[in-house]
Chains A and B, each alone.
Chain A
């Protein structure tokens, strides 16, 4: 009986067997762990070597995005989840970027006002 139902629903049994879990090789976790250490050391070096200007900011952003991507994709298993969940969780935060642009324009104006109205000699 159990055998025949397994034949009819192979997907249902595999889901129950794995408890819908995320089982991945330890080697992968260790690799990501190591990469996160290297990337953190690299972003610390950006400050230690006192890099300035565009180079500093682009390096900080690149290392930040790489670290964030590794954590979300591997440690949080997003790489193996279905797209429906990935889109639902990962797309909304990008709205913050619109907010950033709006607030940058606003703070530019505030700075201008402060410089012209509160200038002290």
Chain B
């Protein structure tokens, strides 16, 4: 009798690939009050941290092991505005644009948890526009430097490794921003359409006002801003 009830409460777990999926999707959680989606986003961001960490370490090695002088970022990234060279001005503007986008994203998350559909979608749209603006300025910066003769194997001002580090680090970060913009637009569109207020599950939402994927999207976007803080400090200011 006892055996029968025991078997009923714990059926044989499925084998093979189905078992693999069943085990990983079973209701066991180490991170309380954190949904599966949010925990996985954090783990993605952690692995991304290591990728950018390795890029910055590689840059540090290139810079500290070369006997050549490193190009002065302050002059390299200066813009000629109104008859004077303003040092690093484009990078400063890019920084402020990205921080503003982080601010609008935080506001979007706040509106999402108040289940305000319109403001959430609009704020996400504003975030995406600021992000696109950032990528545009980066494209301008790249073409300016390429026109001035910067290549991954050399540049007119000093250590050859400067170009390789610059294109690798800012290129990878720009790719992250671009992916973020695409996903922001996607999620914003679904929020605007009202997918998250449906009475049933839909892509990215458990329905009935479950707006958590806006917060998860926000985690990714703030991470992009976070990485820029380190790139700004180590590559442009150092």
Contacts and interface: CB of A to CB of B under 8 A. Distances in A.
B87 A48 contact: yes
A114 B87 CA distance: 32
Contact of B230 (A46, A68, A115): A68
Chain A interface, >50% SS class: helix
B6 interface: no
A82 B33 contact: yes
- Majority secondary structure of chain B interface residues (helix, strand, loop or mixed): helix
Contacts of A111: 64-67
Interface residues of A, number: 55
Contact of A84 (B32, B109, B219, B229): B32
B229 A67 contact: yes
B32 A23 contact: no
A33 B106 contact: yes
Interface residues of B, number: 57
Contact of B34 (A46, A85, A106, A115): A85
Contacts of A115: 67
Contacts of A47: 74, 87-88, 236-237
A64 B43 CA distance: 23
Which of A24, A33, A50, A92 gathers the greatest number of chain B CB atoms within 10 Å? A33
A82 B60 CA distance: 34
Nearest to A15: B33
B61 A71 contact: no
A118 B182 CA distance: 48
Contacts of B31: 82, 84-85, 88
B172 interface: no
Interface in A32-75: 32-33, 36-37, 40, 43-44, 46-48, 50, 57, 60-61, 63-64, 67-68, 71-72, 74-75
A107 interface: yes
B32 A21 contact: no
Of listed B33, B34, B92, B238, residue having the most chain A CB within 10 A: B33
A29 B107 CA distance: 7
B223 interface: yes
Given A57-B238, A93-B46, 6 more contacts: A21-B211, A22-B215, A29-B107, A37-B99, A61-B233, A76-B222
